[in-house]
Amino acid sequence: MMAAVSRRLLSAGGWLPFHLIVRHGSKAVTRHRKPMHILRQKLLAVTEYIPPKPAIPERCIKPKQQEVKEPSPLEKVIQRDVEIAFRENKMIAVFQNSSISYEELRLLRHRLLKHDIRMKFFPNQVLRSYLSDTKYKNLLPLFIGHNIIIVSKEPKTKELLQIVHRTPQVSLLGACIEDTLFSKQGVVKYSRLPGLQIIRGQVASGLTQMTSQTCQLLNNGPVLLTTLLEQYFKQQNEAVTGQKESAKV
């Protein structure tokens, strides 16, 4: 049949390609990569290059940017109360609350109100966010744990210490009096100072004494000169009188 097809193609002017059958002998792959010796592996592991770490950690070079959270409406109201308390009061004392009971706290509040001294409670988070950008930022280390803020429009440190002394569960940490920061010892020393009227009287008496001494110093010169002139004239008169008497003799 193939021969008949070939004749037809040849008679039609075509040709058939030359076919050559080649047999390849299949050979199995028996060579594999030789494993590395254990000593060489150790040597490569020891001599492997390790890039040096930077002297300054990346977290210090590029600190993480904290997301600024918008304060809630309640925090805004509390922050406004904090601003009013710090603006309208000359004495702001910070106390540490050591598990004081409700009855003792109520009694302490009543005693303070008799002297127009008020007690305030604010969250530390709101206080820190407000004080960080104000002139009271040095008070930030005092607001740790449970705190009580006692304020008054006038610096009444003596009355405050006398009342708080009866309540050992409340301890003074520091205060800001007339825009000046005081420690516990500083508040105690400030309370021992005399009143404003007494200080004014002492200043007035000191100024009066200085003026009287100045007048006395200014008058000493003319008085001394007058005394010396009187003595000189007296001596001159005595000398003239003596000469006249000797002339008569």
**Does residue 225 sit within a domain?**
no
The pLDDT of residue 155 is above 80: yes
DSSP-assigned letter for residue 114: T
* Integer Cα distance of 233 and 24 in angstroms: 162
Domain with residue 112: its CATH number is 3.30.70.1730
The mean-pLDDT minimum among 56-65, 151-160, 230-239 falls in 56-65
Specify if 170 maps to a domain.
Answer: yes
Least confident stretch, 37-46, 70-79, 101-110? 70-79
3-state class (DSSP) for residue 27: coil
Q: What is the pLDDT of residue 234?
A: 82
User: Taking residues 56-64, what's their average pLDDT?
Assistant: 70
Torsion of CA 128, 130, 132, 136, to 10 degrees: -100
Q: Is residue 147 part of a domain?
A: yes
Q: What is the pTM of this model?
A: 0.54
235 assigned to some structural domain: no
Distance CA 123, CA 126 (A): 6
Q: Kindly state whether residue 34 falls inside one of the protein's structural domains.
A: no
The pLDDT assigned to 212 comes to 73
In a domain, 203, yes or no: no
Residue-wise pLDDT for 170-210, tens only, equals: 999 999 998 888 988 999 998 888 777 777 777 777 777 77
Give domain status of residue 172, yes or no.
yes
Number of domains making up the chain:
1
Digit-coded pLDDT (tens) for 91-139: 999 999 888 888 999 999 999 999 999 999 998 888 888 888 888 888 8
Residue 183 lies in a domain: yes
Query: What range defines the domain where residue 157 resides?
Result: 73-191
